[in-house]
Amino acid sequence: MTPEAAPPRRGRLKIYLGYAAGVGKTYRMLEEAQALKGEGVDLVVGYFEPHGRQETIAKIEGLEIIPRRALTYAGSQFQEMDTEAILRRKPAVALVDEFAHTNVPGSERVKRWQDVKALQEAGIDVITTMNVQHLESLNDQVWHVTGVRVRETIPDWVVDEADEVVFVDLTPRALRNRLERGVVYGPDKAKRAMENFFVESNLTALREMALRHTAHEVEEKLSASPVALEAAGLLEKGQASGAQAGQTIRKDRILICLTGSPSSAMLIRRGKRVADYLQADCLAIHVARNGASVEDVERHMSFARNLRIETHILEGDGIARCITDFARREGITQIFMGRSRSQPWWKQFRETVVQQVVRCAHDIQITIVADRRRPA
């Protein structure tokens, strides 16, 4: 008789974080894999993107590769990671390149990070790679700096839940040298890349973001331990943060006021980012009015929920009143709002919603989020 199988230990997740293609994330991952294999660890390559880079390809020698799965979509063939095959093989460690990848429609899961979660659930440790620009909270900033709207994003909490984030560095100068020598892309693509995304200023800015983000992850893990104890009921509530800071700080609660406007996405990202850094709770509300496009609002609400923001829809006539009443009830310390659209002159004597909230919300701080645009 076999004893009832205990649920498997959740696999660990390690992310090699870079700031652009070609800095050497995959190489570092494979280097670690070779070292692990040398120690006798049962390891497979679940997904690997060689990009035709010789140095990287050489590093894969001797590693067991799980063949990819071919999928047909819209008449074209696509190669995706065969998650089910890895689960069947059940190694101790799986390497999965390109954490931010979106699977072809028709795949079991929409995103590769969801595949990785499935592997972890089955007790498999995963080592993966990603670039900082795929972080959801940095999406607007990356667009502002580089002009590129990154479509494949990962919610920050997914990265926060990783057991380890290691920064893979290469100086922008060295990266541009590699491009010039044709190590990263073919000659045509390399030339275009160097004139566009890979200009030195973009690379420098992205590199700084990646450094700061890795530092943030290290700090979060440092401060997470006592909080984790609190959650597990091993410490009195408030004891953990008090013990750390030497005093009890009132926890911030941030409220994001959504509308159907496209700029609400920016508002959500920024509000959540500030909440994460301040270790604050984060809520989002929308005050429903007749005639508002429900579809746009619902899209923003679901986006917010994906980022693990608690959402509410309120109904009432006075928007500002609704917002401030809710904020008081919920003990909100900061309200995040977008700018009210500029009014025609004959309406300028009337208060905007922002002005009304500022007036009503006596003891609550109000943040009007920058309407960042791409400089011309």
Partner 1 sequence: MPARVDYRRNPEELLRLVQADERRERRGRLKIFLGYASRVGKSVRMFAEGRRRKLRGQDVVVAAVQPGVTPEVQSILSALEAIPTLTEKYGGQEYQVIDMAALFRRHPGVCVIDGLAYFNPPGSRNPERWQDVEELLERGVSVITAVNVQHIREKQDEVERITGKRACDSVPQAFLLEAEEIEVVDASPDALIGRSDGITPGSRQLAELRELALLLAADVVDRQLQDYLDSHGITASWGTQERILVCLTPRSNAAAMLKSGLRNKLRFHGALLVAYVEQKGLGPGDQEKLNRHLEAAREMGAEMHCLRGDDFVRAILDFAREQRVTQLFLGHTSRPPAVRLRRGPIDRLIDAAEDFDLRIFPHAEDK
List contacts with partner 1 (CB under 8 A).
Answer: 14, 141, 144-145, 164, 166-171, 173-174, 200-201, 204-205, 207-209, 211-212, 214-215, 218-219, 221-222, 249, 270, 277-279, 334, 339-340, 342, 348-349, 351, 354-355, 358-373, 375
Residue 329: CB minimum distance to partner 1, A: 18
For residue 129, what are the β-bridge partners?
16
Residue 327: CB minimum distance to partner 1, A: 13
Is 174 or 231 the residue whose CB approaches partner 1 more closely?
Answer: 174
**Closest listed residue to residue 15, CA positions, set 216, 166, 215, 209:** 166
**Closest listed residue to residue 274, CA positions, set 300, 254, 249:** 254
Q: How far apart are CA 107 and CA 111, in angstroms?
A: 9
Q: How far apart are CA 257 and CA 300, in angstroms?
A: 11
Is 314 or 361 the residue whose CB approaches partner 1 more closely?
Answer: 361
Tokens of 179: 């491009």
Is 9 or 362 the residue whose CB approaches partner 1 more closely?
Answer: 362
Is 120 or 202 the residue whose CB approaches partner 1 more closely?
Answer: 202
Residue 136: CB minimum distance to partner 1, A: 16
Is 82 or 276 the residue whose CB approaches partner 1 more closely?
Answer: 276
Q: Taken in order 352, 259, 278, 134, is the CA torsion positive or negative?
A: negative
Is 169 or 230 the residue whose CB approaches partner 1 more closely?
Answer: 169
Q: How far is CA 268 from CA 23, 257, 271, 302, 324, in A?
A: 31, 9, 5, 11, 19
Residue 167: CB minimum distance to partner 1, A: 4
For residue 93, what are the β-bridge partners?
43, 125
Is 212 or 237 the residue whose CB approaches partner 1 more closely?
Answer: 212
Q: How far is CA 88 from CA 66, 112, 113, 127, in A?
A: 11, 18, 19, 18
Residue 147: CB minimum distance to partner 1, A: 12
Residue 8: CB minimum distance to partner 1, A: 21
Is 37 or 372 the residue whose CB approaches partner 1 more closely?
Answer: 372
Helix axes 200-231, 139-146, angle to 10 degrees: 170
Q: How far is CA 239 from CA 172, 222, 229, 246, 300, in A?
A: 44, 16, 10, 10, 36
Residue 272: CB minimum distance to partner 1, A: 13
Residue 366: CB minimum distance to partner 1, A: 5
* Residue 222 near residue 244, CB atoms below 8 Å: no
Residue 244: CB minimum distance to partner 1, A: 12
* Residue 311 near residue 239, CB atoms below 8 Å: no
Is 162 or 309 the residue whose CB approaches partner 1 more closely?
Answer: 162
Could you tell me whether strands 76-80 and 69-73 are parallel, antiparallel, or unpaired per DSSP bridges? antiparallel
Would you mind telling me the total number of residues written for the chain in this entry?
376
